[in-house]
Amino acid sequence: MAGLIFDSHCHYDDNAFDEDRYELLNKLLVDEGHVVDKMLHAAVDEKSSLFGIKTAERYVNYYTSIGFHPEYADDVPDNYMEILKTLYEKASATGKLRAVGEIGLDHHYEGYNADKQKTLFIDQVKFANEKGLPVIIHCRDATEECMGVLSELRPAGVMHCFSGSAETAEKVVGLGMYIGFTGALAFKNNKKAKRACEAVPLERLLLETDCPYMAPPPYRGERSDSSMIAETAKVMAEIKGVSAEEVLRATNENACRLFGIS
């Protein structure tokens, strides 16, 4: 069952993996009995995008994205679109570029620049549409604004680490997009996420870790990694009334469909 895992959103460039990054990736992706089928790196800035490109060259079943996260909007250089185009050329050369992201809006922390975030977001969605790539959307405390952009530009993609309502989930799916759930779905009191998951057809669901964050029970509080998706799949299976194996197979197929992986 575990060999069906597609982690559709991971951050193995995070400092939490500095001591054992490639040892862990080898164990998960390559070594005999490896438990993960595929991974998709979610880039957050230029450095992160370059990490994804390099690591995608190293592992056959590791894919990558390019993009600028909204939390870093104030630090993005003025020529960010030129940088994005250069990253696109480098990533395309690997044959492993599958998305533009992690992009979006984040109005959670005080002092955010809403205008700069929105401009950065719109420019990157338009770029993704131009290149025929799906987007990986980060949306926190900015649902109305984010949905406005998505409704207007209509990209293919996924709303990652979904924390919105069932009604918002239905609207996202209505745009032809997918919904990604992390280990937070398995948190005992996370009724809102469970209702949202229930509202989404299985063929529109993805599983992800957002590692090293949001490890599901019984690992909650620990550093997350892709193998833990097996626990999230069990909870999703209960919600959808199917087996965990069916959830893993369906979400794997969904991710392959969205990201153009044969």
Answer yes or no: is 11 a known binding residue.
yes
Please name which of 13, 101, 92, 93 lies closest in space to residue 65, comparing C-alpha atoms: 101
User: Which residue reads 């590791």 in tokens?
Assistant: 62
Token reading at 163: 């924390």
Beta strands in the chain (DSSP E): 5-10, 36-41, 62-66, 97-106, 135-140, 157-159, 178-181, 205-207
Please name which of 73, 49, 61, 84 lies closest in space to residue 8, comparing C-alpha atoms: 61
For the chain, report the end-to-end CA distance as a whole number of angstroms: 20
Answer yes or no: is 34 a known binding residue.
no
Q: Sign (positive/negative) of CA torsion 180, 105, 192, 156?
A: negative
Answer yes or no: is 138 a known binding residue.
yes
Answer yes or no: is 69 a known binding residue.
no
User: Which residue reads 């595929």 in tokens?
Assistant: 38
Answer yes or no: is 9 a known binding residue.
yes
Helix (H) or strand (E) holding 242: none
Answer yes or no: is 41 a known binding residue.
no
Binding residues: 9, 11, 102, 138, 160, 210
Binding residues for a divalent metal cation: 9, 11, 102, 138, 160, 210
